Amino acid sequence: MPTRPGLLDCIERYFAAAPLPDARIATAGSLDVPLGDPAWPYPARPRSGAGPVTADDVRDAVQLQEAAGVPAALEWVPERSPEAAAAARAAGLTVEELPLLVAADPVELLLPAGVQIYLVGADDPEVPRYQQIAAVAFAHPGGRADVREDPLDTSAEAETRTAVLRERIAAGRTVMMVAVDQGEPVAVGSHQPVDLDGTQVSEIVAVATLPRLRGRGLGAGLASALVAHARETADLVFLAAGDDDVARVYERVGFARLATTGVAERRG
């Protein structure tokens, strides 16, 4: 699918607006650096019209992030900021480029027999468990780990993350869904709507299935349900897929490739 500048403009406006309720925006050269609660961090991003991203910009952004206790991270759209990848590598970050897709032709999927999808309320007592499903799923992308083998994380940091998520759900800034099979939550995902001067845009994030249940269409079905809910109010729904294989799954449920998302983080 060819790059459509209007959609990329809208997506970049979304990323600029999303942190504003939660963080103050510092600057590092051509980068905006949101600094807020470490429980819900945002990456630095190129600022529209600010010029090319340099390695010094990235180093300065990382210094601001580390001083604020948030993860060192940078994201960008390579089709708009092609120099950012080299700048991030020169600053010592690890770079990935992920497929960026938009919801184009929605496909209604049938879930496996017995599986139901529910909206998650802010007061749902199982929210920490849903968060753990996502944590285990992303920690074992190709493994067979089972969330039930691990106790819930009851650390102060985990409780803070749960409290922030509950606040976002209550405010309508995160819409979370859970897939339940035989009374057990087995997959989770969210979309995050942002109003851009009357145009609502939402990003599908953190769609995760327990490793032992992958391959049954749970993730694709959940993503389809999230898109259907988001499109009740949103003019544009998009997501960044973890890799090309994941992107192909989303293409089967009505997404189309638009561009790519660059992600740079401190690892090791």
The least confident of 11-15, 58-62, 191-195, 247-251 is 247-251
Spans of all domains in the chain: 5-101, 115-230
Task: Provide the pLDDT confidence category of residue 253 given band limits of 50, 70 and 90.
Answer: confident
Q: Which two tokens stand for residue 101?
A: 């897709």
Specify the pLDDT at position 13. Answer: 96
Specify the pLDDT at position 142. Answer: 60
Secondary structure of residue 190 in the 3-state scheme: strand
Q: Is the dihedral of CA 165, 228, 201, 57 positive or negative?
A: positive
Summary mean pLDDT of the chain = 91
pLDDT digits (tens, 9 = 90+) for 94-130: 999 999 999 988 766 767 778 899 999 999 999 999 9
CATH superfamily of 115-230: Gcn5-related N-acetyltransferase (GNAT) (3.40.630.30)
pLDDT digits (tens, 9 = 90+) for 150-193: 667 778 888 999 999 999 999 999 999 999 998 999 999 999 99
The predicted model scores a pTM of 0.92
pLDDT digits (tens, 9 = 90+) for 85-97: 999 999 999 999 9
In the numeric block, the tokens 């074992």 are attached to: 140
Secondary structure of residue 214 in the 3-state scheme: coil
